[in-house]
Copies of this chain bind each other. A is one copy, B any other.
Amino acid sequence: MTTSSLQSAPPVEPSGVVTLLTDLGIDDPSVAIIKGVVLKAFPEARLVDVSHSVPLRGIVQGAFWLARTYGWFPEGTVHLAVVEPAQRKLPRAVLVQAGDHYFLGPDNGLLSAAVEHATRSSRRPAEVREIDLGRFALGPKRAHRARSLFAPVAAELASGRFKFSEVGEPVDGIARSPLAEARKSAAGIEGEVVFVDHFGNLVTNVEAHLLDELTEPLICIEGREIKLRESYVDVDPGEYLALVNTFGTLEIARRDSDAASSLGVAQGAKVMVR
């Protein structure tokens, strides 16, 4: 994704809200430390947990959750998202402004689905800055960047003390997400399972608006044809159904049962809608 050909987005007033998306879990105080860092620099910050249950190395799932959640928050919200598998060369740390939202995290694909969505829906280009480590990092270590780098930047930005353009030099674009987008073909809409929730429901990347043109969408997965319904009650227990979930995408379920194990499918499974 390149943003160089697009013109600058106007500055957005920070809302004071900072959302957090990580793979740190909530049992130990790792997330509390991040919150402490933000509050120490900006005591009025309003912190909201998006999720801390992103699976280890779950960049696809994290990218999906961020893209399907950010838009419900106020304009000017700072979305801090850190899922950072150990790597010999750490990805650069970036701040993106897109569609009146700020996204902050490693440039490893985690942010791009949200940034692309925000760019598309706002019809304004995203802008990307590489965070100036010398200015913001709390320590010299390359580890624990959620706490030591991204949290301080989130506080400065959300407080309004630093503007977007002051956090570092502009860069041309960010890494694409490994999260595939559903696409239309002659055969129909081709999508895939992004994650399996803990009930065994199959959450796909097929956005609801793609279904609008079809009068009676038929969802095909593993050789089975499943009808789109409005609610679980439209089928009998044990029957398969497809519906639009709270994330605004197509979901395949089996009433009172586990669709994933019944169908024998997992993340990445192909879905076709006709």
Interface residue ranges, A against B (CB under 8 Å)? 15-17, 19, 21, 25-30, 32-33, 35-37, 39-40, 43, 46-51, 53, 65, 68-69, 72-74, 86-88, 141-144, 147, 197-198, 230-233, 243-244, 246-247
Question: Could you tell me if B29 and A65 are in contact, using CB atoms closer than 8 angstroms?
Answer: yes
A106 CB to closest chain B CB (Å) equals 14
Contacts of A26 in B (CB 8 A): 26, 49, 51, 53
Of the candidates B21, B39, B46, which one forms a contact with A43 in the assembled complex, judged by CB atoms under 8 Å apart?
B46
Is the beta-carbon distance between A43 and B16 smaller than 8 angstroms? yes
Is A39 touching B233 in the complex (CB atoms < 8 A)? no
Complex contacts, A233 vs chain B, CB 8 Å: 86-88
Residue of B nearest to A55 (CB): B27
Q: Contact between A230 and B32 (Cβ–Cβ < 8 Å)?
A: no
Q: B39 near A74 (CB under 8 angstroms)?
A: yes
Q: Which of B48, B68, B198 contacts A39 (CB 8 A)?
A: B48
A50, B29: Cβ atoms closer than 8 Å: yes
With a cutoff of 8 Å between Cβ atoms, the chain B residues found around residue A244 in the complex are 141, 143
Q: Which of B21, B36, B143 contacts A73 (CB 8 A)?
A: B36
